[in-house]
Chains A and B, each alone.
Chain A
Amino acid sequence: MLNLFSQARRVAGRAAFGAAALALAGAGVPAHAQETIKVGVLHSLSGTMAISETTLKDTVLFMVQEQNAKGGVLGKKLEAVVVDPASNWPLFAEKARELLSKDKVAVVFGCWTSVSRKSVLPVFKELNGLLFYPVQYEGEESERNVFYTGAAPNQQAIPAVDYLMENEDVQRWVLAGTDYVYPRTTNKILEAYLKSKGVKAEDIMINYTPFGHSDWQTIVADIKKFGSAGKKTAVVSTINGDANVPFYKELGNQGIKATDIPVVAFSVGEEELAGIDTKPLVGHLAAWNYFQSVDVPENKDFIKKWQAYTKNDKRVTNDPMEATVIGFNMWVKAVEKAGTTDPDAVIDSIIGVSVPNLSGGYSAMMPNHHITKPVLIGEIKDDGQFDIVEQTPGLIVAEEWSPHLEGSKDLIADWRKPLNCGNFNVKTGKCGGAGQ
């Protein structure tokens, strides 16, 4: 009874919310009548995260220009509104509010770190905005207003571990990460997964380091020691951006070669390698859904246009860029399908929308607001690019709630009617329930 009641209340609440949103959208009609459709860009252009996020800002601007050259959307030109949240998490929420309520943008592309996404979530819910989030993340989330075009753990981490087990015969694992939510959650999932595959607890070493850790001598020596126990050892690295350079430098200095102890990284792409001499790193791996070296015409064409746009023929592309491109194209297609930029209409129309990705296939938006992706494993080459050594034959559907974690294995997300829920518990039949 109580369950029924609470569910009824929730449905009623949602209906009221939807009505309010519709009314809001109605009020916004004069804005739509203007010449342009505004597109918000919420990426840090200064501070710590500028290193990664500036490229994504450029990517959205590039896509806007491309789309306008094709005649815009619904006959209107797109106009980018760029704000700088300066790597400051509370400022992300402020800037998001500014974009949605002052600039009245139809959609926002932005955020990199999970904490920045969590900080803007309440704003997007309250003002019923649309956020496209383009970075691989720890999963365990599905929101009505957010579309996750980066990888969930099962679209990056688990295939990478499978590859090492099958092709490199790895039996001992070092899970090394920076001390924050993404590595901790990913490592928890990986640990459970490895144990389910019969790896013993003493063959797993977990290590966390602070942000921007620069003195890796002890840890690299520990890894070396852990790896000399007679079983093939690999490092699974969720070390965040800036700390990677000193980590790889130390690996090179202490003479750990990829043929001895391979390192597979989930946060190291072409951009990060641009700051390192990659000769000592040849053969270390990365798992992504896209590499610049993907050898298909779509990708070559994209790189050519991108380098022409940035007027820099050495400018690299990377996975979060591809995720931004896919998200942008999905939004355009969904708007054209719905015939309006109204968020509620787009949220309904975007599910099932499928657009070409840059690795020669199609990615589709699933009802859990995540997209299907191929998984690629690459080995670092001496020119800072990746040699793709493995590609999943088909596309992988995101598991937003990991089946390997106690708290989330019974949850599913489906934003279609009638379920319309981001964390539906299949055991209790309730929406909003955490796991057992």
Chain B
Amino acid sequence: MNSRARLRGSGRALLVALLAFCAMLSGSLAGSLALSRAAQAQDISAPLAQLANDNYADTEAALGALALSGSPAAAQIVAALADGKLVYSSTAPRQIFIRTDTGLIDPLTMQAVAPAPAVKPVRVNNRVRRAIEAANGALSLVSPDPAKRIDAAIAVARSRDEAALPALDTALAKESNPKVKTALVLARASILIAKEGITPAERIAAVQLVAAEGNQEALAILRGVPDSAAPEVKQAATDAIAGIERNLATWAIAQNIWYGVSLGSVLLLAAIGLAITFGVMGVINMAHGEMVMLGAYTTFVVQEVIRQNYPGLFDWSLIIAIPLAFLFTGLIGVLIERTVIRFLYGRALETLLATWGISLILQQAIRTIFGPTNREVGAPSWMSGSFELGHMSVTYGRLWIIVFALIVFIALLTVLRVTRIGLEMRAVTQNRRMAAAMGIRTNWVDAMTFGLGSGIAGIAGVALSQIDNVSPNLGQSYIIDSFLVVVFGGVGNLWGTLVGAMSLGIANKMLEPYAGAVLGKIALLVIVILFIQKRPRGLFALKGRSIEA
């Protein structure tokens, strides 16, 4: 299409202009810059007027013109545009200003404008954003900061634009930092691979350089070897591609296992409270999911209070929410146990119906109080983003959830093993009458056990608020999975829950790439059904005298 060609053309022109500008900047003397400053300041009035039109095509053109102008104000204007701080006066004659914390300043004189006119920000879309990125990347090819120069080299490598080659060579000749030099050489090789009219030897050297990177982007670049290239070059590229693909396939398995562990930790968090209420106490607790939901809503309320009153504490909001969610949902759990469940011990069907009813009541209550729409729970800065481990990407949020799930698991295990209340809980569930005869208040222990299970579900809600919707339906999506994990792992055994959650998570993620998300889930259910046929008591069956029916 015409527009496509035009777009590519204008992008290329922009990049060339920027690179030329960089080379010029680095090459020219400060004196000559100062001499021509007045004239340049005049030069950018035209692009400024274009920016004030607030039209995407004009903004893109203005970005190119700005870079060409060599004006010292250009970098600041581009940065302001990226931050949404570039504004124009909405009344004629339209003028461009930069918004700062203290007020508007004129981009030419850097003086504050008084009185400030009514302004609107210059709008930015994906096309303009890409132009800004190119501008910023190219501007920083001569930046004093080596990290920025590396980023710039990567940006150029990504664009694979032949026209950038001379500027790249200029930058390379001057570069002294070895790391930046490597990045520049790689960028140069990326461009050479697809360039017409270079010798096969040069092209093979470039192929080898790029192939050493071994990642997805290297693959994309290697596939760009032109059909007209010499056969030995094509062979080298094909070999390199095959090698990278083999290597990446191995990493993909590691990546899938990581995803599986991550999904497993979510399942573990969702199920671990149920492992207490259903696994240990034998209550078919359909309201378990709603306890998770209440925990998530507690997080929301905590974040709201923090946002309103103590914005500086936002990064701590989840830590603060954990004990509050535990106490709140634990309290609700004790209330439910005392008012409903204690009358229904040993009557599985009635318990199921009663707790199902409770779950509907809780859902509708939350819907009435907070509304039916999703509530926003923000991610603290330490849970955002990702890092690369080899050729595997690991997101911080998921990493913390895995750590958190394991901490909760160990804490719960410790409570049951080491503390007095844990001992009493185990005693009551193993043999209620004997425990009562030993002077344990079994009613109180029942309430505490149910409260503990609910509280743990609440804590899970804090973590799940980071990856799922905080809506009244949050709990429903986890109840089936939770029961699946507890039954699969073995009722009444916490280790079973851990192993069950992890194996279901990993199995699900290993199936997904082949069978798709829908079929994968079905296949997993079938496997679990078959497994339960073979081992009705799950992976880790309790041996000896079991819980009373």
Contact = CB atoms under 8 A, between A and B. Distances in A.
Q: Are A and B physically bound partners?
A: yes
Interface of A: 45-48, 50-51, 54-55, 165-169, 179, 207-210, 212-215, 217-219, 221-222, 224-225, 228-230, 242, 245-246, 249-250, 252-255, 258-259, 262, 271-272, 274-277, 280, 283, 379, 382, 387, 389
A166 B4 contact: yes
A218 to B, nearest CB: 5
Contacts of B470: 275
Contacts of A222: 513
12 contacts: A47-B473, A48-B473, A169-B4, A210-B521, A212-B473, A221-B393, A228-B217, A228-B220, A242-B374, A242-B469, A245-B469, A246-B467
B127 A167 contact: yes
B459 to A, nearest CB: 18
B518 A258 contact: no
B8 A207 contact: no
B126 A221 contact: no
A252 B372 CA distance: 25
B468 A245 contact: yes
Given A228-B217, A254-B386, A277-B379, A51 B374 contact: yes
Contact of A253 (B385, B471, B517): B385
Contact of B509 (A210, A218, A250, A280): A218
Given A210-B518, A275-B375, A255 B385 contact: yes
Nearest to B125: A389
B372 A51 contact: yes
Interface stretch (B254-262, B337-345, B434-442, B527-535): B254-262
B539 interface: no
A255 B386 contact: yes
Contacts of B7: 167, 169
Given A275-B469, A277-B379, A209 B518 contact: yes
Contact of B471 (A242, A283, A379): A242
A298 B244 CA distance: 58
B517 A165 contact: no
A258 B124 CA distance: 12
A245 B374 contact: yes
A232 to B, nearest CB: 10
B266 interface: yes
A209 B364 CA distance: 27
B59 to A, nearest CB: 12
Nearest to A253: B395
B382 to A, nearest CB: 13
Given A253-B386, A379-B125, 6 more contacts: A50-B372, A166-B1, A209-B518, A218-B512, A253-B385, A387-B123
A283 B477 contact: no
A379 B7 CA distance: 19
Candidate in A50, A224, A262, A280 with the most chain B CB atoms within 10 angstroms: A50
A34 B255 CA distance: 69
A215 B374 contact: no
Candidate in A212, A213, A250, A382 with the most chain B CB atoms within 10 angstroms: A212
B126 A262 contact: yes
A288 to B, nearest CB: 17
A54 B323 CA distance: 33
B126 A379 contact: yes
A334 B534 CA distance: 66
Given A218-B256, A258-B126, A46 B374 contact: no
A169 B364 CA distance: 47
B224 interface: yes
B129 A259 contact: yes
Candidate in B224, B385, B470 with the most chain A CB atoms within 10 angstroms: B385
Nearest to A218: B512
Nearest to B8: A169
Contact of B3 (A167, A215, A242): A167
B468 A214 contact: yes
A330 B163 CA distance: 58
A274 to B, nearest CB: 6
Interface string B225-255: 0000000000000000000000000000001
Nearest to B127: A167
B276 to A, nearest CB: 23
A274 B376 contact: yes
B546 interface: no
B179 interface: no
B361 to A, nearest CB: 11
Contacts of B517: 207-210, 213, 218-219
A204 to B, nearest CB: 15
A213 B266 CA distance: 13
Contact of B518 (A48, A179, A225, A387): A179
Interface string B497-541: 000000000000100110011100100000000000000000000
Nearest to B218: A228
A276 B216 contact: no
A216 B463 CA distance: 16
Interface string B456-490: 00000000001111111100110000000000000
Contact of B398 (A217, A224, A245): A217
Contacts of B129: 258-259, 283
Contacts of B372: 45, 50-51, 54
A388 B443 CA distance: 62
Contact of B126 (A51, A168, A215, A229): A168
A350 B374 CA distance: 37
A55 B374 CA distance: 13
Contacts of B56: 389
A228 B223 CA distance: 11
B263 interface: yes
B42 interface: no
Interface in B331-369: 363-364, 367
Contacts of B374: 51, 242, 245, 272, 274-276
A208 B223 CA distance: 29
B503 to A, nearest CB: 16
B130 interface: yes
B302 to A, nearest CB: 16
A46 B364 contact: yes
Contact of A242 (B219, B364, B467, B473): B473
Nearest to B375: A275
A212 B145 CA distance: 45
A225 B467 contact: no
Nearest to A276: B376
A259 B130 contact: yes
B162 interface: no
Interface string B367-405: 100011111101100001110000001011110000000
Contacts of B216: 224-225, 228
Given A207-B516, A208-B516, A253 B384 contact: yes
B469 A253 contact: no
A230 B518 contact: no
B133 interface: yes
Contacts of B125: 283, 379, 387, 389
B521 A277 contact: no
A167 B126 CA distance: 9
A253 B397 contact: yes
A209 B508 CA distance: 13
Contact of A228 (B4, B219, B395): B219
Contacts of B468: 214, 245-246
Contacts of B397: 249, 253
Given A230-B220, A275-B470, A165 B1 contact: yes
B263 A46 contact: no
A168 B397 CA distance: 31
Nearest to A44: B372
A169 B10 CA distance: 13
A253 B397 CA distance: 8
Interface in B1-45: 1, 3-4, 7-8
Interface string B199-221: 00000000000000000110111
A166 B472 CA distance: 41
